[in-house]
Amino acid sequence: MSAVFIISAPSGSGKSTLVREVLRIDRRLEFSISYTTRSPRGLEVPGLSYQYVSREEFEQRMKADEFLEHAEVFGHYYGTHRSVWDKAKAERKDLLLDIDVQGAQQLKKRIPDAVTIFVLAPSREILEQRLRARSEDAEAVIARRLAGAAREIRNYHSYDYVVVNEQVESAVDTLLAVIRAERVRRQRMEDRIRPILASFGEQL
């Protein structure tokens, strides 16, 4: 049974680096490539980082109910296409989503056993430093992202886990530990338990 892991964080929390590392180490995870109407940034690769589409295309797909969840973040649409979850299930992979708070709440309603993880920078000062160091964004964008962070942080209580990203390596370890532990929850082990019980002549 495929598991769904949702990671949310205010931008600048170092989430992308954590997600990249976790995906590199844990090969059972499939990254959910979102649709977005924003333009590619930095080293992002179309089709791998995001599917970049026009507002018109996004709205058409929205009307056709193609998204499991979608939200408008910083003036751009972002959404998770239904096919992403179907593909992960067909390939018996677990799905890792990097989506915002609104998206996490929508998805949790559709997939109640999705595991939600909130990543936080250790302080506002460090978040601001990280946003500036990235220097991909204009000053106004940085200010908007900081204000957005202050708002998003208040939603931490709707998440199952909170990871404070002080140091990349230990934050990655913590995320991997959460993922591994969640995989052996009894409900997710039914498929594994059945043949074991059968070998003892028992049935579930």
Binding site for ligand 5GP (CB under 6 A): 8, 11, 34, 38, 69, 71, 73, 78-80, 98-100, 102-103
CB of 78 to ligand 5GP, least distance (A): 3
Residue of minimal Cβ distance to ligand 5GP:
103
CB of 95 to ligand 5GP, least distance (A): 12
CB of 178 to ligand 5GP, least distance (A): 18
Nearer to ligand 5GP, 137 or 173 (CB): 137
3-state DSSP of 55-84? HHHHHHHHHCCCEEEEEEECCEEEEEEHHH
Backbone angles phi, psi at 11, to 5 degrees: -65, 145
CB of 45 to ligand 5GP, least distance (A): 13
* Cα–Cα distance for residue pair 97/173, rounded to 1 Å: 18
Angle of helix 168-183 relative to helix 15-25, nearest 10 degrees, comes to: 50
Nearer to ligand 5GP, 2 or 49 (CB): 49
CB 134 within 8 A of CB 12: yes
Nearer to ligand 5GP, 34 or 174 (CB): 34
